[in-house]
A = this chain, B = another copy of it.
Amino acid sequence: MTTTAIRSNSDQAEGGTGQVVAHVRNLIERGALKPGDRLPAERDLATQIGVSRPTIRAGLRTLAAMGVVRSRHGSGTYIPDGPPALNTDALSFLAALHGFTREEMYEARRILEVGAAGLAAERATSEQVATLAEEVASLFASMQDPQVFLVHDINFHRAVASASGNPIVASLVEMVSAMYYESRRETAVRASERDLRDAAEMHRRIYQAIRARDAETARRAMHDHLMQASRHQAQEPQPGHDSFPRRAPSSSSVPPKRRARPHRRQPSN
């Protein structure tokens, strides 16, 4: 019975750069840094913490990649305000690395967004409902341009997530949506106008259920929408495999589906 320790994967408790991350974290937890604030200049931080500027920059870059800070050339390093936002690229990289399938993406979206739709029906403000209405209108208005349609499609789903009132759920949906957009952008042109009309209609139903404060109908509508989208996309002409890594050709016959991912062990350093 192994009592596996829980460790952050970027465990930088020691080392200069981890010192920087920890310092900023302390500032945040002490309330000295709030969203919108500007951090001290790198050269100042260097003298404060007692490390060199390159080390400071390394730590700040780590924080920037996490979405905790944002550097603006010539101006300073700031903590972004607005809703909390994770780095959306991370999931896209993992998708490219591990070859996530469309079905897996839709499955993840279904789990997340069905829940988000239910919450949105219970809590959406009138402004958020208005935003949803606008995006639905944009969907119907862009049925002849799959690329523009896709943008409004994603925007609608992000708006639903935002209307859920739960910033964590909203952040996760943002990540998954960004990954989906990345992988869908190239193939979106293959969607038939009939499919787009269906999709627009289903978005409208989701919107109406949220507006009517009917959580269960909203959940079902979101579920049906994502199921149908997944089915439609599976029927489209051969997907461009070029964006996904191809397995190295092996002498033995390649398994037809996906192979399980064995945990090749790696030294812990």
Give me the interface of A with B, judged by CB distance under 8 Å. 1, 3-6, 8-10, 17, 25, 28-29, 31, 33-36, 54, 57-58, 61-68, 72-73, 75, 78-94, 96-98, 100, 104-105, 107-108, 110-112, 114-116, 119, 125, 134, 137-138, 141, 148, 151-152, 154-155, 166-169, 171-172, 175-176, 178-179, 181, 243-246, 248, 260-261, 263-267, 269
Contact = CB atoms under 8 A, between A and B. Distances in A.
A119 B108 CA distance: 11
6 contacts: A29-B245, A31-B248, A63-B93, A65-B65, A79-B97, A168-B179
Contacts of A266: 36, 78, 80-82
B89 A84 contact: no
Contact of A68 (B25, B97, B119): B97
B115 A111 contact: yes
Given A87-B90, A267-B72, A100 B66 contact: no
Contact of A90 (B68, B125, B243): B68
Contacts of A68: 90, 93-94, 97
A107 B166 contact: yes
Q: How many copies does the complex hold?
A: 2
A138 to B, nearest CB: 5
A6 B171 CA distance: 15
B88 A67 contact: no
Given A88-B8, A90-B66, A107-B119, A134 B1 contact: yes
Nearest to A266: B81
Nearest to A80: B266
A203 to B, nearest CB: 15
Given A90-B86, A94-B68, A168-B100, A4 B155 contact: yes
